[in-house]
Chains A and B, each alone.
Chain A
Amino acid sequence: MTLAEARAIHPVLHVAPSTPEADQQKLEDLTRWFIRYTPLVAVDGDDGILLDVTGCTHLFGGEEAMLDSIKTRLRDSGINSQISMAENRRMAWAFSHYIPGTITKNPTESQAILSNLTMAALQLDDGMQQMLFKLGLKKAGQLFDLPRASLMQRFRGKDSKKIEALITRMDQAEGRRDEPIIPFTLLPEWQVRMAFSEPLQLQEMVSTAIKELLLELTDLLAEADKGVMRLALYGFRVDGSVQKLMIGTNKPSRDQKHLMRLLEEKLPDLEAEFGFDLLLLSAEETTHLPPEQTSSAKAHAEHSITEFLDRIGARLGPSSVRKIKHRQSYIPEQAQTFTSLQTNELHWEEYPSTLPIRPIRLLLRPEAIHVMAEVPEGAPKRFRWRRVEHLVAKAEGPERIAPEWWINSEDPTRDYYQVEVKSGARLWLFRSGLYPIKGVRPSENRKQSTQPQWFMHGFFA
């Protein structure tokens, strides 16, 4: 039926465009919100959310109370829901879709309820449902009553695959076959939570609560000889949205003070607005960390330096601390690169000691200078760099650095000069390109065929 037809039948039709992406996004947001109930949540199809609440129900006062709480909260935020709880995901799906509100606690009970439901409750595909219907099997119970072995034998050939799927589904429903839930977020290894009857709005109160949580978490980690590498803080806001902070450490840690300092760096990013009613702290990644011996001074020093680096990383971004690494290249600016802290091979021992002296500071990129008194095949006598004129008193060079032809032969050859200006400062200048000599050497700069350019590149001590 087209929209025009539908409108002809019912003129006051409310029309809204279908937005599957937005729907999926909303569903994912809602799924994330359910982390407040259990860490193991997953999106189920287009309209379902699956929670594994094993071991979580007592936190909410039992199964009934938990379902009530979910139901109320969803209703309050304007979401219609059908919820049930059973001992495996297939049963739970069947109940929530056909008799919402059901809570079953043991397999026989749920099996009995499932028997009275239609075949569709088993989430079979249409073809299979029709085939079973033709065979006179309408209720799920009828299928379960059939002996499995004969069921397998009756369908041969191309139907056997379908039957295999059917048997699998039946096994899953009965709980004979495990069906893992692929969690929506990475499962944390350790998690602690704190719920509040009154929403928390002030940052001081939030940070006090986090301290408590950290204390609890670090105690747990200490018992298990674990140290945290990545820590996440989830703040569940009253309006249903979830705020997340993430911190990482360079070495495993369970030092409560250190972790707190790292979290405090990020706390201003947390937007409480109407307040948080639940805070959840989870160690997303942990590694083995044996109990510490605090007497070693060296260990302590190393400790403090990694703690410092963590703090810097948390505030300025993880890539703000760098080391310098040597790269085998003759091009000066390519002989040094910045690399991450984790790299231990910096290759400075490979730096050739035979090269002429190099400046102690190098400009990030060579800057063009205006040469006023040029000497052919020599250093300039006078030049202007950054609007200041410099008189060259002494100069040494050139050190000719040719482009690395195996990488890029287009670049012109550079002639480097160490010059000392009148005041005594020493600079590293280079001329990019050779002077063309008529008949002997054509201009290197084929594209522009102009005179070579001069550049300022570094400072000597």
Chain B
Amino acid sequence: MFIAHNDNTYEEHQTGSASSNNKIEALKKLRHMVAKIEEEGKTPTWDMETENTLVHATSTLDFGELRQSGVHEIWAQKPIDTAAAMALLLSIEKENTAPVLWVTTRRFSYDYGVPYGPGLHAQGITPERLLFVMCRDEKEALWAIEEGLKVNAISAVVGEVTQMDLTSSRRLTITAQDHNTRCLLLMRSEHAPSSAAYTRWQTEAGESHHSFFNEQAPGHAVLSAALTKHRGGKRPITQTMEWFHAPDYLYMASPVADRPVASITPIAQAAI
């Protein structure tokens, strides 16, 4: 599971004055309108109240946005972060049992490898759920993704692509909206072009804290995910998460917890 920690320190908006309250009200109305237009009839998810309560809390973020139908782009900051982006994607997918359509290209699998069953197993994804579509090029991949979005029996369509222009992204968005399906794009390219996707996340692997028993060994995986774009009008937000194998294990991904091995010996003893 992922334990999330909010890295953002927003200034507070409610300063009490009547004029700013009016402004906020007006802003809220406008955002609702924008969201309505963009969503084409969907109820907007943006909510001022929850936003404000989020500001102070260091809470677990459930990445609810990624569960919405539509196109979601998950970007790897550096080529080497592709697995981190994939981990974020998998954390959303493990709640479902329906098949996942995994569309990839020869080029992408040559560069970044292919999902590996034994590793997926550990992440809580049964490898049986994956249906791979191996495409010769990105053009075929985009077509396969679009066709996949027309199928309701699939939990999500995962597309591994490097190039995506506004037109293709718009196409996918429309198809996903029409069929109420979800497209998760695992993306990696030098530039991040504009797109019609509902959300865009930038993911990056973070330095891990020490493992319990071995100071030289990597601890639990840390990744940070930044919501850089949200069609519903949500503010950019950055989350840093730590990944655990044990399902009921709580841990705070804060530097405070990163103490030398010796000082947490009592916990280690308790664990033994």
Contact = CB atoms under 8 A, between A and B. Distances in A.
B82 A341 contact: no
Most buried by B among A355, A395, A460: A460
Interface string A349-361: 0010001011111
Given A301-B153, A308-B148, A420-B218, A364 B114 contact: yes
A324 B109 CA distance: 14
Contact of B113 (A364, A424, A425, A461): A364
B92 interface: no
B122 interface: yes
A227 interface: no
A348 B121 contact: yes
B87 interface: yes
Contact of B131 (A336, A341, A351, A364): A341
Interface in A445-461: 458-461
B243 A461 contact: yes
Contacts, number: 181
Interface stretch (B38-46, B47-55, B161-169, B199-207): B199-207
Interface string A303-316: 01100110110011
A393 interface: yes
A254 to B, nearest CB: 20
B219 to A, nearest CB: 8
A395 B112 CA distance: 21
Contact of A305 (B110, B151, B222): B151
Contacts of A326: 117-118, 127
B218 A351 contact: no
A84 interface: no
Interface string B212-234: 00101111011100000000000
A43 interface: no
Interface residues of A, number: 54
B135 A348 contact: no
B83 A425 contact: yes
A324 B104 CA distance: 14
A302 interface: yes
A357 B119 contact: yes
Interface of B: 78-84, 86-87, 90, 99, 109-110, 112-123, 126-128, 130-136, 140, 143-144, 147-148, 150-154, 204-208, 210-211, 214, 216-219, 221-223, 243, 245
Going nearest first, the 6 A-B pairs with the smallest beta carbon separation are A459-B83, A461-B87, A301-B153, A396-B217, A424-B205, A362-B116
Interface of A: 301-302, 304-305, 308-309, 311-312, 315-316, 320-324, 326, 332, 335-336, 338, 341, 346, 348, 351, 355, 357-364, 386, 388, 390, 393-396, 418-427, 458-461
